[in-house]
Structure 1
C-alpha cells in the first residue's frame, strides 16, 4: 500500500500530510510525486507543525548550503513556536542550544571542540575495539534463530561505541536508559503521553549533571572531559555544554541504530545482494554508501528559517516558517541517480546526502560509516542463513518524525558462528 493511495496521481493536498503507518513504512512513492510536482511543498506533521519541505536533489543540496537559512530556534515565528517548541522550559533553553540549532560564528566555535574526537584517523585507530564490541554482542545472541536484532544488537552497539569515543565512564554507560532518546520525538502539551515525556526529560537532565560532576572530579583528555573543561574555562556556557552532551548521547547513537536496521532490511529484501556482500566483505565500504543513499535513517533534516520573507525555488516562504530538507527524497532523485529505486552495490559515484552537506555536515560521519561496516560485516559473517522471521509488512517502523528505522527486527538464521 502506498501513502495517500486514494489520491489521484495528479493531486497533492496542501499541506501534504506526512502521517500514518503506510507513509512511515514506505515514504518514497509520496516523495516521488512531490518531486515531480516541484521542489518545495507545504507539509503537515503529526504534531500539527506545518513546514516547507524541499524534495529534489539539486534543491536540497542548495538549501543545505544556503546561508540565508539559519538553524537557531530564535528565528522561528510565533506560528512555528506554538507547536514546535515542545520541550518545556527550562529544559528547552538548557538542552536545545547544541550544534544542530546554531549558526556561525557560534556554531563554528562549538563544532571545533568535537571534530578531533570523530576524525577518520582516530576512528581507524579505534576500529579493532569496535570489532570487539560487535563480536561480544553477537556472542550473546541465541545459538540459532530467531532473534530480534534491534534488542540483541542494533540498540546496543552504537551506544557502546559512542561511550568509547567520547569517554563516557563505564558506570554511567551501564545506566543509560535508551528511552531517554525519545525526548526528541514530539509530544505536545495536551498529549496523554506528556507526563512520561517530561519524566524522561528530567531523567536525562539528571544523567547529564552526573556525567559533568564525574568528569569534573576525574579530569580526562577525552571529549566529555574537554567539554566540561571548556565550560569551566569560559569557552562554553553551561547551556552549550549540556546541550552538546545531550546531542552526543541522543544524535550520536539512535540514528546509527536505525541505520543498521534500514540497511539490514534492504539486504534482507535483496537476498542476492546479501549473499554477495557476505561472500566478499571487501565490497562493504561501497555497499555502505549505497545503503545510506537507498534508505537513510536521517529521513528529514531539522528546522531551518529565513529571517525575512524569501523566495525558495519559486515559492514565497514567510520569515520564521520552518524549512526542512528531505534527505531521503533527494537521495532517490532520478535526475541525479540512475534507477534511484534500485539497490546497486556497485553504484559509483554516489554523492548521497545522508549526512547532510555544508557547515552542518554530520561531524560523526566517519564514525557512523565505520559502525555500519563493522555491524553489517559481523552479522553477515557470523549468522549464516540470515533472513526475516516475520512478513515484511509486519515490520514495525518507528513513528519518529525525522528518522527511519524499525522498532524490532525479528530474524532467523541457521546458527551462530
Structure 2
C-alpha cells in the first residue's frame, strides 16, 4: 500500500474555513515540521507571519523588538487589518494589548491588583454561588445548551463581581457587542450590524463611566475613572481598558469552558476520572488549557525595521502572530502532545501568553474554569455531548476557538 505524501504548504497558508476551525491541529503539525515561521492569509485578506513551534513562540512572546502598538503597522497591514473604523479605532483600541512600555507598564499597574491570586481565592465562594445559580436554572433533565444556559453568562457575572460593575448595568450588557472584535470588512453585508454593535458598546461604556464617576468607590472601575479624572489616563485609554475588560474578560472564558468540555467528551474515561476525583481539577485545568486553548492566536506584533525572525526576513510593519495552540502541541516540548493527559507535569503551556503581555486575568480564568467544570460535572451526572462531534458549530473567529452552542444530555440535575 502506497503512503500518500502530504501536499506542500501553500504560500501564504490560508487560515480559514470550517474544517480548519473544527480542527486546526493537523495543519499546525505540518507547519511546525516545515519550519517555525510561515506567511498566512486570514479571511479578511490580511497577510501575516505566523510563529508555530514552542521554542520559537516562547522567544517571540519575549522579543522586545516586537511591539504591539498599531502605529507600527505598515500601510499594507493597515489597509485590511484596521477593520474598526475611525474614530472608534482610536477610542477603543489603545488598551493594554496594543501598548508598549512604558505606557503598557503604567496601564497594567492600574488593573493587576484586581486579579491577584489572593483576591481571586477570597472571591471563589461567590463564584461558586454564581455557578450554582445558573445550574439551578437548567432543565431538570437534559437536553440543554450549555453555552446559552451556562458558559455565556458565568464569566460575565464573575467579571462584574471582580471589577465592580453594578448589577443593574451588568444585566443590560449585550453579549453580541463582543463580536466587534471579529473582523467585518467595509464591503461585508454584515457591516451595518457590526457598526450598530460598536455604537451600542460605546454607549454602554459611557454609561458605566458616568455611573462610576457619580458612585465611585474602591473597586477597579471606580479606580480607573479616578485615574482618568486625575490625569493618569486619557479618555480614550479609559474607554479602551473598559472595552478590553468587558470583551476579553468574557468571551475567552466562555469559549474555554466549551473547548474543555468538548475535550472531556472526546475522552470519557478522563471525564469520569475527573468527576470521581475533584482533587485532580487544578492539574486538569492546566492540561485542558494546553490541549485546546480558546486563545488560539495572539494579537498583532510588529518590527519597527526589517528583521530576522528565526531565519525568515520579516519586513517592518508586517504583522507577526504567535499560534499558542500550535506551540502547545509541539512534541519537542510536550511528549505525546495530542493526548489529553490529566497527570501531565510539568505543563509550561502558553495558553495565557508569556512575557510582559502575559494575561493579567490568568488567575481569575483558572479559578473560573475550576468552578465551572467542577460544578457541571458534580451536578449533572451522566453529562455527555448530545450531537455528533462533527455537527458542532465552531465560531469562525480569527484569534479564538469555541462553539456557538454546546448541546448536552444528562441524567438529572442535582
* TM-score, normalization by structure 2: 0.99
Cα distance between partner residues in 1 of 2:133 and 2:374 = 14
Residue segments in structure 2 that go unaligned for 5+ positions in a row:
none
**Aligned equivalent of 2:304, options 290, 303, 307:** 307
Structure 2 equivalent of residue 216 of structure 1: 213
**Aligned equivalent of 1:96, options 83, 93, 98:** 93
In the alignment, does 2:149 pair up with 1:143?
A: no
Cα distance between partner residues in 1 of 2:270 and 2:394 = 23
In the alignment, does 2:67 pair up with 1:70?
A: yes
**Aligned equivalent of 1:261, options 258, 262, 276:** 258
Cα distance between partner residues in 2 of 1:276 and 1:141 = 24
**Aligned equivalent of 1:290, options 287, 290, 307:** 287
Structure 2 equivalent of residue 195 of structure 1: 192
Structure 2 equivalent of residue 124 of structure 1: 121
Name the SS for the 2:376 alignment partner.
Answer: helix
**Aligned equivalent of 1:349, options 346, 350, 353:** 346
Cα distance between partner residues in 2 of 1:90 and 1:385 = 51
**Aligned equivalent of 1:249, options 238, 243, 246:** 246
Structure 2 equivalent of residue 281 of structure 1: 278
CA shift for structure 1 position 8: 5.2
Alignment of 1:10-159 (within 5 A): 10-159=7-156
Cα distance between partner residues in 1 of 2:18 and 2:134 = 31
RMSD (CA atoms): 0.7
Structure 2 equivalent of residue 226 of structure 1: 223
Cα distance between partner residues in 2 of 1:220 and 1:265 = 40
Matched residues, number: 411
Name the SS for the 1:41 alignment partner.
Answer: strand
Residue segments in structure 1 that go unaligned for 5+ positions in a row:
1-6
Cα distance between partner residues in 1 of 2:396 and 2:331 = 27
Cα distance between partner residues in 2 of 1:314 and 1:183 = 35
CA shift for structure 1 position 10: 4.7
Structure 2 equivalent of residue 374 of structure 1: 371
Cα distance between partner residues in 1 of 2:333 and 2:266 = 24
- Deviations along 1:248-280, whole A, 9 cap, x unmatched? 000011000000000000001111100000000
In the alignment, does 2:170 pair up with 1:173?
A: yes
* TM-score, normalization by structure 1: 0.98
Name the SS for the 1:113 alignment partner.
Answer: helix
Structure 2 equivalent of residue 4 of structure 1: none
Name the SS for the 2:111 alignment partner.
Answer: coil
Name the SS for the 1:411 alignment partner.
Answer: strand
CA shift for structure 1 position 46: 0.3
- Deviations along 1:325-365, whole A, 9 cap, x unmatched? 00000000000000000000000000000000000000000
Name the SS for the 2:67 alignment partner.
Answer: coil
Cα distance between partner residues in 2 of 1:353 and 1:48 = 27
Name the SS for the 1:52 alignment partner.
Answer: strand
In the alignment, does 2:324 pair up with 1:327?
A: yes
CA shift for structure 1 position 35: 0.1
- Deviations along 1:50-89, whole A, 9 cap, x unmatched? 0000000000000000000000000000000000000001
In the alignment, does 2:376 pair up with 1:415?
A: no
CA shift for structure 1 position 9: 1.4
